[in-house]
Amino acid sequence: MTDQKLDPEEAVRLARELLQETTERRVNAVRALVDASNTVDVAEQSVKDARDAHTKAWADAITSGWSDKELRATGARPPGKASTTPRARRSNRASTTPSADVAAQ
């Protein structure tokens, strides 16, 4: 037991502060989640719009007299085909472990 008496109102005040801090963190997490979700929605719509425009431009080129083969020969990518841009490869360097370093000494 303690010799000091606890003030119930002070305990209530501290409890409310703790709850408010926890609530604020949780609310801020929801805010960040919804912001990120909205950003994804906008990006997905932009990608859809770009794909639709690409499909229409390809169709317009075909309608104007170009063949698929001729358009491909220009380097144009047909709709629905993934980009062939090469990606950087990951390095497969072997990592050394401390035990291997010690054994080598």
pLDDT in tens, 96-105: 555 555 555 4
On whether residue 87 sits in a domain, the answer given is: no
On whether residue 103 sits in a domain, the answer given is: no
Instruction: Give the pLDDT score at 47.
Output: 97
On whether residue 28 sits in a domain, the answer given is: yes
Structural domain total, the chain: 1
On whether residue 27 sits in a domain, the answer given is: yes
End-to-end CA distance of the chain: 60
On whether residue 31 sits in a domain, the answer given is: yes
On whether residue 49 sits in a domain, the answer given is: yes
pLDDT, tens digit, 9 for 90 and up, residues 10-54: 999 999 999 999 999 999 999 999 999 999 999 999 999 999 999
Q: Quick one: tokens of 39?
A: 């950003």
On whether residue 99 sits in a domain, the answer given is: no
Instruction: Give the pLDDT score at 82.
Output: 80
Q: Residues 27, 30, 34, 36: is their CA dihedral positive or negative? A: positive
| Domain around 30 | 8-78
pLDDT higher than threshold 80 for residue 68: yes
* Residues contacting residue 66 through CB under 8 Å, at least 6 positions apart: none
Give whole-number Cα distances, 56 to 7, 47, 70, in Å: 73, 14, 17
On whether residue 20 sits in a domain, the answer given is: yes
DSSP 23: H
